[in-house]
Chain A
Amino acid sequence: MARITELDVNGSRRRVDAGADRTLLSVLRDDLDLTGAKYGCGEGQCAACTVLVDGQATKSCLTKVAAVAGKRIVTIEGLARNGKLHPMQEAFLEADALQCGYCTPGMILGAVSLLRRTPNPSDAEIVIGMNGHICRCGTYSRIVSAIHRAAKIGGGA
């Protein structure tokens, strides 16, 4: 079977040696030690595994690594620049939009992708855009606040 030998992750070309049918989630976590993307269900129901692929929120547990070869992958580890948090990360902290935090990386990347599509979303647009994400701790209303907050300071950039 064909093997994938290189991925473009967080702005760097990373060497890998992965079977083409492995999931992106597994390669990121196990081979590249980028554990910010989380396993939650393995069937695309919780979106804890969300990463950006060419700027689009993508469920990495359902994505074969072969499908993203040559595409720009951004994980939560690549969102802050030179130690400066991304506006969406700041907004999540300011709104206290997390408890256990296990869903948070996926939430943040899903929200960044949402703002790229819809820079100033209404409550309803946030609910529709984020409904695939589960926060079992139930911080949903705070996440909505955080996204509004981030929208005001360019959180989709």
Chain B
Amino acid sequence: MISRRDFLAALGGGIVVVLIADDCDAQESGGGARRGTREPVPETIDAWLHVGEDGLVSVFTGKVEVGQNARTSLTQAVAEELHAPMAGIKMVMGDTALTPYDMGTFGSRTTPTMWPQMRKAAAAAREMLIDLAAQKWSVDRASVSIAAGKVSSGSHGASFGELTHGEKLTKTIPGTLALTPATAWKVAGTSVAKVGGRDIVTGAHKYTFDMKRPGMVWARVLYPPQFGSTLISLDSKMAEAMPGVKVVREGDFVGVAAGDQETAAAAMMALKAEWKPLTAEASAKDVGAYFRKTARDAGEERGGPANPQLTTYNIAYIAHVPLEPRAAVAEWADAELTVWTGSQVPFGVRSELATSFQIPDGRVRVIVPDTGSGYGGKHTGEAAYEAARVAKAIGKPVKRTWTREEEMTWAYFRPGGVIDVGAKVDPDGTLTAWEMHNYNSGPSGLQTPYQVGTKTERYHQTKSPLRQGSYRGLAATANHFVRESYMDELAHAVKLDPLEFRLKNAKDLRLRAVIEAAATKFGWNPRQKTFGRGCGIAAGFEKGGYVATCAEVSVDKASGAVKVLRAVVSFECGAIVNPEHLRNQVEGAVAMGLGGALFEQIDFADNRIVTNRLSKYRLPRFADMPVIESVLLDRKDLASAGSGETPIVGIAPAVGNAIFDATGQRLRSLPLVPKGLVS
């Protein structure tokens, strides 16, 4: 198997820039590159970049593309600093054999961390190319410039390929290089079209689900009918009698493999398994009490029964529902494993596999093709493990794709939770005290961005009856829903307009800016009161981005139908990298957020997921969409922050507050109206 060091050597001619992480000492801190040498590759690497003898720029990063357009934004970063056309840059992503280690693509970290690193690597390559040209042409390097992928000085001119031909240079640089300021960007900061878009609209792009390998067979894996059940006995005779079927049983792991997926599915059905069930600890109906009861700090401090002075909100578990379910293709050769899988954490999956099969990390290669979304739901490697295990047992490449029912049952969920909140407000509307307790749903976004005298904000870990994990925005959605709904309750209590109340307590200028921008675009003041309609506002800060959302809803009291008519989102995440893609993210976050706001919820009982398919779990559709308007505040003086998550946090409270405005009914649960508005 190719190692990264071998790979660097195998890149052939051209120049290589290796960018080491900010916090690690540079082996070489700039200056001219040494000709004809390959330096040892340091261990802590963020990225590397290769300019080949054909002039093609290849950039290697462990980040993955899951629809958030990181492939485009990272290519823009390189194009900007290298002064090269987008089309001449190839981004190699999420391949553990070729790309540097990366923790994973989550937490809106690509833009604040990898994006500047890409720019530094590209800037270093640019300087190397200038050095090469100055040497080759015997001119002062100050006279050499690069534009549109061409290097020139006076009458001299060369393409990247002409300059790098016959070279074999490596340069290791620290992550401290000066970069082009946002005010001078030419490619970054513009609405460059999605890289790879053509392959998607023609169907040419191969997701993991679409992959095929020579000699590949299809696998299915046996799961119990209920969580926590243990396998008592298995009769696999019928399955084994089916043509081409192999049954793999290793302890509790039972997989079947067949030459086509229908036979594999039929073989799975033919397995006769006996299970010992586990008593369910909680269902969707009583999970709130379960969270309180199982809080690790129950009994300490204020635990135990809820403080009667606090108001309680409830948050349902919801599912990510990436349209491409989990999938993997696994192949063993000479005790080395290669797996293609849609994951946000390729290096984490590599470790999972290495540990499971007791082989060194270096004998596992995980490759992540651009994937059919994740939203925080694909941090784990279940399908990869299952495919690899069956492949190892039967000695053939194996494809394992999860059904929608498996994805909605055995993947993990966004946590449910119970949140208690209370505050003290002076008669003039000044917040003087704030208290908020989050049980289980998570600590993200728990800190209020408003100015308050005294604050108690605590996340209480509890047990969870369902497997739970990351989600777009994590708990910031739940915590913003509660905080911003309760801010609305307080505004009404002191008879202040919700906008005025927020501005009175918002001292952070960036927060004020998004609130004012959203309100202005929405036409908050003055707004007309229309029967059956209401308006709501919410704001917040998370993962480096500021957001304010205004929503208008109509409520038909007779039928209980709630329709979100309009949503205005103001968002500020520093210097904007790609305005059109940012708008797309903001709109998508609103669309996705509306599902969790209005009707998405996992129903579960008796250790089973009741809402285990799309006909039982309602997702936002065309007809649910409001008119969405985004107001992007471009702060070229600030570093760029990520934008895939934070725009989701404002829509639920804005809609809840709008429903209150329309009806006087305060809804304190997510989802707000799964069955319409019930009086």
Interchain CB contact under 8 A, A96 and B580: yes
Interface residues of A in 81-108 (CB under 8 A from B): 85, 89, 92-93, 96, 98-105, 108
- With A137-B373, A141-B587 as contacts: A99 and B67 at CB distance below 8 Å: yes
Interchain CB contact under 8 A, B201 and A134: no
Residues of A contacting B592 with CB < 8 Å?
136-138
Complex: how many Å from CA A138 to CA B262? 32
- A72 on the interface (CB 8 Å rule)? no
Interchain CB contact under 8 A, A39 and B209: yes
Contact of B203 among A35, A100, A137 (CB under 8 A): A35
Interface residues of A in 107-150 (CB under 8 A from B): 108, 126-128, 130-131, 133-144
- With A105-B203, A139-B588 as contacts: A41 and B404 at CB distance below 8 Å: yes
Complex: how many Å from CA A45 to CA B589? 21
Residues of A contacting B587 with CB < 8 Å?
138-139, 141-142
Residues of A contacting B193 with CB < 8 Å?
93, 96
Interchain CB contact under 8 A, B206 and A100: no
Residues of B contacting A59 with CB < 8 Å?
none
- B61 on the interface (CB 8 Å rule)? no
Interchain CB contact under 8 A, B198 and A85: yes
- B584 on the interface (CB 8 Å rule)? yes
Interchain CB contact under 8 A, A133 and B622: yes
| Chain B interface size, under 10 / 10 to 19 / 20 to 34 / 35 or more | 35 or more
Complex: how many Å from CA A139 to CA B210? 23
Residues of A contacting B198 with CB < 8 Å?
85, 93
Complex: how many Å from CA A79 to CA B201? 10
- A67 on the interface (CB 8 Å rule)? no
Interchain CB contact under 8 A, A40 and B201: no
- B267 on the interface (CB 8 Å rule)? no
Complex: how many Å from CA A30 to CA B69? 29
Contact of B373 among A26, A41, A136 (CB under 8 A): A136
Interchain CB contact under 8 A, B197 and A45: no
Contact with A along B614-651 (1 / 0, CB 8 A): 11000111110101100000000000000000000000
Interchain CB contact under 8 A, A98 and B323: no
Contact with B along A9-43 (1 / 0, CB 8 A): 00000000001001000100110011111111111
Contact of B401 among A39, A93, A128 (CB under 8 A): A39
Q: In whole Å, how far is B342's beta carbon from the nearest beta carbon of chain A?
A: 10
- B68 on the interface (CB 8 Å rule)? yes
Contact of B68 among A37, A85, A99, A143 (CB under 8 A): A99
Residues of B contacting A37 with CB < 8 Å?
203
Interchain CB contact under 8 A, B580 and A30: no
Q: In whole Å, how far is A57's beta carbon from the nearest beta carbon of chain B?
A: 14
Residues of A contacting B613 with CB < 8 Å?
41, 43, 45
- B383 on the interface (CB 8 Å rule)? no
Chain A residue at smallest Cβ distance from B66: A100
Chain A residue at smallest Cβ distance from B617: A45
**How many residue-residue contacts, CB under 8 A, span A and B?**
168
Residues of A contacting B202 with CB < 8 Å?
36, 76-77, 79-80, 85, 89
For the residues of B in contact with A, the DSSP-based class is loop
- With A29-B210, A103-B323 as contacts: A134 and B621 at CB distance below 8 Å: yes
Chain B residue at smallest Cβ distance from A94: B193
Interchain CB contact under 8 A, A102 and B622: no
Q: In whole Å, how far is A123's beta carbon from the nearest beta carbon of chain B?
A: 10
Q: In whole Å, how far is B435's beta carbon from the nearest beta carbon of chain A?
A: 34
- With A38-B209, A42-B404 as contacts: A99 and B584 at CB distance below 8 Å: yes
Chain A residue at smallest Cβ distance from B199: A101
Chain A residue at smallest Cβ distance from B260: A30
Residues of A contacting B424 with CB < 8 Å?
none
Interface residues of B in 200-219 (CB under 8 A from A): 200-207, 209-210, 212
- A46 on the interface (CB 8 Å rule)? yes
- B157 on the interface (CB 8 Å rule)? no
Residues of B contacting A48 with CB < 8 Å?
323
Interface residues of A in 42-58 (CB under 8 A from B): 42-43, 45-46, 48
- With A77-B202, A89-B201, A105-B203 as contacts: A96 and B372 at CB distance below 8 Å: no
- With A93-B201, A134-B621 as contacts: A42 and B588 at CB distance below 8 Å: no
Interchain CB contact under 8 A, B201 and A96: no
Interchain CB contact under 8 A, B262 and A40: no
The 8 sampled A-B contact pairs (Cβ below 8 Å) are: A29-B210, A93-B197, A101-B201, A101-B370, A102-B207, A104-B200, A138-B587, A138-B591
Q: Which residues of B contact A (CB under 8 A)?
A: 66-69, 193-194, 197-198, 200-207, 209-210, 212, 260-262, 321-325, 370-373, 375, 401, 403-404, 580-581, 584-585, 587-592, 613-615, 619-623, 625, 627-628
Q: Which residues of A contact B (CB under 8 A)?
A: 19, 22, 26, 29-30, 33-43, 45-46, 48, 75-77, 79-80, 85, 89, 92-93, 96, 98-105, 108, 126-128, 130-131, 133-144
Apart from the given pairs A93-B194, A99-B584, A131-B623, 18 other A-B contacts in the complex at a CB distance below 8 Å: A26-B260, A35-B210, A40-B614, A46-B323, A76-B203, A98-B194, A98-B197, A101-B200, A101-B205, A101-B372, A102-B372, A127-B622, A127-B625, A134-B619, A136-B592, A137-B588, A139-B587, A140-B622
**3 closest A-B pairs by CB:** A36-B203, A138-B591, A100-B67
